[in-house]
Chains A and B, each alone.
Chain A
């Protein structure tokens, strides 16, 4: 049986009277890609930010590689990485410089070779010495994903990694990400609003609504359980009426 890379137990975050994340528990095993879905405000970003230590939970535990995140922050963050549309690389650097900076921050000793290889892997060679601020949003997103691989992470958090990409580029990037993940054998937590993408990449899907996990299962089982073929329809139904349907007893 494969070991859990990430184990989240009863994680809760409240901002005054608003509960952003409400006692969620889940695991990600080695080589597993888990998608975190939910409507806006469901608690996806707060969950990811708690996994990145940007936000402190009010209760619950996060264990990564068997170690408590709060107690081993630097050690664990050096084995993880992330990308998100709200956190781009500095616009006043070039992709080559930006990737070099993050390679150093993640402790990659042979960073020059690593940067060259990432520029090749993500087809950024021609853009390598242009200012990041002058790249298109799709190119910046691609660079953000390249940055997420600087340290060959064992746990990757991808918050809408293909959000600003046209379909062919998104497909190409997805394929590259899956290839690199397969090579590293790491686990991934992936968020997206593109249901086709989610279905393609995910081993499991976690549906969040109002901070609670509504379901945590394989895409096939979720479709069976809801009696629907289209994941998007399931998403819309859950987002609209999250806590009424008896068969949707929230998972804990």
Chain B
């Protein structure tokens, strides 16, 4: 074995990681967020054990998982639709065509809706078969949460596209990381009360927090929490507007700095 060969392979990869902010983010970000997530889950389980809660755990955890997967898929399908164009070196053809940005985004939204609906029906059927979990028992109450989850996924998908336009194909890791970054602060698997007071205030701006709080209220109390629906929807509208402004800004910058042609060269 030639140590220089091994050194060559090591060097090639280290150079790549050292130079790429998204890659460094992926290296440290995932574990940090996972640690936060599991820390909050542990705290919540501890609290429940103390209060001897009679909550239906299967319904609570699995419903949360299903809706989180829906959000994750909605964001990812959106970001990956764009990344697909970058990976296949087709992105220049797309931006040089008469397609408007709004048309491109609407096309991605339709792909996202089709994929999300398909995946939602599949996963809910599988959950019913494996764990007798019938999420459809929640009835029409799930509709506002379902819609809000999709829309916030798209908003983050638009942000992902903006970041890929700005930082190039090496930012593709963000397509997978961004939803994960939001996960611990969205109170998906535990109640908001588990957060320190300051975090409870800060996370108020996240639509997902209100969606999952609302979902838990529907499951545990059987009522529609209108305040959660209101805040989730209002914050979603703000997020969508901000996401589009961010994308327009990134595209403008890309045209000035020549980043678009770099998308097929990096």
Contact = CB atoms under 8 A, between A and B. Distances in A.
Interface of A: 15, 45-46, 49, 52-56, 73-75, 77-78, 82, 84, 86-92, 102, 105-107, 147
A54 B260 contact: yes
Contacts of B252: 56
Contact of A86 (B92, B94, B97): B92
A46 B252 CA distance: 16
Given A55-B258, A56-B255, A86 B264 contact: yes
Nearest to A151: B98
26 contacts: A45-B261, A52-B92, A52-B95, A52-B96, A53-B255, A55-B258, A55-B260, A74-B99, A77-B96, A78-B98, A82-B96, A86-B89, A86-B92, A86-B261, A86-B264, A87-B92, A88-B89, A89-B90, A90-B84, A90-B88, A92-B88, A102-B97, A105-B97, A105-B98, A106-B97, A106-B98
Q: Which 4 A-B pairs have the closest CB atoms?
A: A78-B98, A90-B88, A87-B92, A52-B96
A104 B84 CA distance: 18
Interface in B96-118: 96-100
Best-surrounded residue of A53, A75, A147 (most CB of chain B within 10 A) = A53
B93 interface: yes
Contacts of A90: 84-85, 88-90
A185 to B, nearest CB: 21
Given A49-B261, A86-B261, A54 B96 contact: yes
Given A88-B90, A89-B90, A92-B88, A55 B261 contact: yes
B98 A107 contact: yes
Interface in B207-266: 252, 255-258, 260-261, 264-265
Contacts of B93: 87, 89, 102, 147
Contacts of B99: 74, 105
Interface residues of B, number: 23
Contacts of A78: 98
Contact of B89 (A54, A77, A87): A87
A53 B101 CA distance: 13
B98 A91 contact: no
Interface string B64-97: 0000000000000000000011001110111111
Nearest to B85: A90
Nearest to A58: B256
Contacts of A89: 90, 93
Nearest to A51: B96
B92 A74 contact: no
Nearest to B104: A105
Nearest to B256: A56
Nearest to B97: A105
Nearest to A93: B88
B165 to A, nearest CB: 12
Interface in B103-154: none
B258 A15 contact: yes
A74 B99 CA distance: 7
Contact of A87 (B90, B256, B257, B258): B90
Nearest to A88: B89
A54 to B, nearest CB: 5
B253 to A, nearest CB: 10
B98 A54 contact: no
Contacts of A53: 95-96, 255
A106 B97 CA distance: 7
Contacts of B257: 15
A94 B100 CA distance: 25
Nearest to B264: A86
A104 to B, nearest CB: 9
Contacts of B258: 15, 46, 49, 55
Nearest to A84: B92
Contacts of A84: 92
A188 to B, nearest CB: 16
A84 B100 CA distance: 21
A77 B99 CA distance: 9
A68 to B, nearest CB: 16
Best-surrounded residue of B84, B92, B100, B252 (most CB of chain A within 10 A) = B92
Contacts of A52: 92, 95-96
